Amino acid sequence: MLVLVAPGQGAQTPGFLTPWLDLPGVEDRLRAWSDAIGLDLVHYGTHADADEIRDTAIAQPLLVAAGLVSTAALGAVTPGAVAGHSVGEITAATVAGVLTDDEALALVRTRGLAMADAAAITETGMSALLGGDPDVSVAHLEKLGLTPANINGAGQIVAAGTLEQLAALAEDKPEGVRKVVALKVAGAFHTHHMSPAVDALAEAAKKLSPADPKITYVSNKDGRTVAGGAEIVDRLVGQVANPVRWDLCMETFQELGVTALLEVCPGGTLTGLAKRALPGVRTLALKTPDDLDAARELIAEHS
């Protein structure tokens, strides 16, 4: 069984959309979305530097657009399940047929702007913990007032909180953790610091007409499969202020019988986690159109 997954913020790199514009219709599609949401996706995906695309309000629509473009380039594909990490959940919901492309881009534009505004209220950030026992690390983070914002499995937890709390973590890391790495993000995503963004997303969600998913959808909230489109949208709204449980998503992939995992553009992060947490599962990351033939072969073998 094939699982198709979409990465979250931090996966973007300067110029990563450039080779995709050579595919027929891609530039026209990106320019139409750009006009609709008031953000030049072509510019930011081709010419902007790392600092520009680190901006939450830019990175999030860029990632969803890239995921949708690369999925469409695969042609007809019906995976056994779909899931996304953080903002990648919007991509996954669209691939599953819950949202239209236009709805997805409008929602992610609101999400990015609202989370950027929330991040500006207090100086916050995120740091990745590599190694260690998850229970020990989570207890240590809570003692420092930090939130385990992403529990990613494969020995990785991402802590989020104020810069002062993260500085204390760097000085006093949990027992067994090899390294604490500060992430280049603009705020403490998936924590109470993002609560103001929830209201903005809830208002935007009223304009949506979600359909029930045509493909099994696995949710970040608890790793459960969700069969109702309205519930998926509710989870997308609340998700910005709650932890990402990618570890539980991967456990569900195993229960569903996953044999291959394909990560849409800009792939790499989630396949890396899967290689460590899902031994024996074939993985492939879509980075450029050069990866499309291999991806189609994987789909043919495992769908």
HEC assignment per residue over 103-132: HHHHHHHHHHHHHHHHHCCCCEEEEEEEEC
| b/e burial code for range 166-204 (CB count within 10 A of at least 16 → b) | bebbeeebbeebeebeebebbbbbbbebbebbbebbeeb
Which pLDDT does position 5 carry in this prediction?
A: 98
Conformation bin of residue 268: beta by default, left when phi > 0, alpha when psi is -120 to 50: left
Alpha-carbon distance 8 to 150, whole Å?
Answer: 11
Q: Name the token pair of 122.
A: 């207090």
Q: How crowded is the C-beta side of 255, counted as CA atoms within 13 Å? A: 11
Per-residue pLDDT of the chain (303 residues; tens, 9 = 90+): 999 999 999 899 999 999 999 999 999 999 999 999 999 999 999 999 999 999 999 999 999 999 999 999 999 889 999 999 999 999 999 999 999 999 999 999 999 999 999 999 999 999 999 999 999 999 999 999 999 999 999 889 999 999 999 999 999 999 999 999 998 788 999 999 999 999 999 999 999 999 999 999 999 999 999 999 999 999 999 999 999 999 999 999 999 999 999 999 999 999 999 999 999 999 999 999 999 999 999 999 998
Q: Would the CATH topology of 2-120+191-302 be identical to that of 124-182?
A: no
| b/e burial code for range 48-64 (CB count within 10 A of at least 16 → b) | beeeebbebbbbbbbbb
Q: Which of 34, 85, 140, 190 is catalytic?
A: 190
127 is catalytic: no
Which pLDDT does position 155 carry in this prediction?
A: 85
137 is catalytic: no
Let me know if 235 is exposed, middle or buried by CB neighbors in 10 A (0-12, 13-18, 19+).
buried
Alpha-carbon distance 92 to 107, whole Å?
Answer: 13
Phi, psi for 202 (deg, rounded to 5): -60, -40
Alpha-carbon distance 24 to 1, whole Å?
Answer: 30
Which pLDDT does position 60 carry in this prediction?
A: 97
CATH superfamily of 2-120+191-302: Malonyl-Coenzyme A Acyl Carrier Protein, domain 2 (3.40.366.10)
Which pLDDT does position 151 carry in this prediction?
A: 94
Domain boundaries, the chain: 2-120+191-302, 124-182
Rg over alpha carbons for the chain, rounded to the nearest Å, is: 18
Which pLDDT does position 303 carry in this prediction?
A: 80
Helix (H, G, I), strand (E, B) or coil at 146: coil
pTM: 0.95
Neighbours of 208 (CB within 10 A): 18
Which pLDDT does position 222 carry in this prediction?
A: 97
Alpha-carbon distance 246 to 7, whole Å?
Answer: 11
Q: Given this structure, which CATH class describes domain 124-182? A: alpha beta
Q: Which of 70, 86, 127, 137 is catalytic?
A: 86
